[in-house]
Amino acid sequence: MPIDAWHFADAYTLDRARLNKGFFQSVSAKLPGELNCWTISSKHFADAQYGANGMLFKVFNSHANRIEIFELIRKEVAPTAPSRNDCFFAFASRADAVVAQSSWQSFGGLRLEQVQIQDDANVFLGDADLYTNAGTAGLWVRDAAYRFWLGRRSANPKMEYLVGGTVYFPNWESFPAV
């Protein structure tokens, strides 16, 4: 049984779904294998994270390295889960999507659409709030990544599906041609 979810779609995604009669595949489904160029090796991370005094470098708690750290922890804790680097994102509820839209600036100009995650997709359900707030308010990126991939939730969870595979847009016939 497909999983209902909500996605903020750009014009490209809507057009591809329209052309494929509602179906859209994540990058990981189209090109299987290790695609992410963000991943750093465990050895590099271990060598780089500690200074001469043993303190964690502040740079490893920055937004720029969040992607790398989350991917490194995923490989350790949830290696079969879709990578955040090449998956399709969808919110578990319309309410979570609307709350995220009002608090995150990255959804400007995107259209909120219902999707159905197909049965054969590789799916992980995580709290997007842990990812978004990693590195802020005392939440270290590494700790947030472990909590995320272990399926734990923040005080204000916004649940998102990471999908490696196919989703279906049930309203695809209403999408404008690009």
pTM metric for this prediction: 0.80
pLDDT for the residue 133: 82
pLDDT for the residue 35: 41
More confident residue, 92 or 56: 92
Look up residue 30 and give its two tokens.
Answer: 């189209």
**Which own/partner contact pairs does 37-42 have at CB distance under 8 Å and 24+ positions apart?**
38/67, 38/68, 38/71, 38/85, 39/68, 39/71, 39/72, 39/75, 39/85, 40/68, 40/72, 42/72
pLDDT for the residue 67: 85
User: What is the per-residue pLDDT across 119-133, written as a single tens digit (0 to 9) for each?
Assistant: 999 999 999 999 988
Residue with tokens 């979810």: 5
| Among 10-19, 57-66, 71-80, 92-101, the least confident range | 57-66
More confident residue, 4 or 53: 4
Based on its alpha-carbon atoms, the radius of gyration of the chain, rounded to whole angstroms, reads: 17
User: What is the per-residue pLDDT across 89-102, written as a single tens digit (0 to 9) for each?
Assistant: 999 999 999 988 88
Judged against a pLDDT cut of 80, whether residue 12 lies above it is answered with yes
Confidence of residue 39 (pLDDT cuts 50, 70, 90): very low
Domain ranges of the chain: 3-174
| Among 49-53, 59-63, 91-95, 114-118, the least confident range | 49-53
User: What is the per-residue pLDDT across 135-162, written as a single tens digit (0 to 9) for each?
Assistant: 776 668 889 999 999 999 999 999 999 9
Q: Read off the amino acid at residue 130.
A: L
Confidence of residue 63 (pLDDT cuts 50, 70, 90): low
